[in-house]
Structure 1
Amino acid sequence: MCSHQPPCPSADSADHDAARVVASHPEQGWSLLCNGLLVFDDTGELLPDGRVVEPRRPVLV
């Protein structure tokens, strides 16, 4: 999915959050990264294969 140099880390790599943002929707609370990863404001993630990464920080109420 990445066409720039150096290429972004793949969605399976440990540093997958370092990929570039290609679409951002702050009003909805998510961004799409170049590697196909959906990153949510609560730090949760949706991987391209459908796996879910639970948020890594507590949500303040």
Structure 2
Amino acid sequence: MCQHQPQCPSADSADREAAHIVAHHPEQGWSLLCNGVLLFEDTGELLPDGRIIAPHRASRAGRVATAA
């Protein structure tokens, strides 16, 4: 599907989110990447084969403030 050179990461690769955005709909909270991945604003993903990747946004819970 990707026509970029060098080619973007495939939907199965760990860095799939690095693919170029081909459609962006911030009002709906999603973007379509050139590898066919639907990337949602909560960092969840829907892969072209129908698999769902749960949101994986870094959590702020458990962070300890340090004095500068």
What TM-score, normalized by structure 1, do the two folds share? Answer: 0.91
* Structure 1 CA distance for aligned equivalents of residues 14 and 4 of structure 2: 20
The runs of at least 4 consecutive aligned structure 1 residues that moved more than 2 Å come to none
RMSD: 0.9
Matches within 5 A, 1:1-61: 1-57=1-57
| CA displacement at 1:4 relative to structure 2 | 1.6
What TM-score, normalized by structure 2, do the two folds share? Answer: 0.82
Instruction: Extract unaligned runs of 5+ from structure 1.
Output: none
**Identity, % of aligned positions:** 74
Q: Does the residue aligned with 1:17 lie in a helix, a strand or coil? A: helix
* Structure 2 CA distance for aligned equivalents of residues 55 and 22 of structure 1: 21
Number of equivalent positions = 58
Larger radius of gyration: 2
Instruction: Extract unaligned runs of 5+ from structure 2.
Output: 60-68
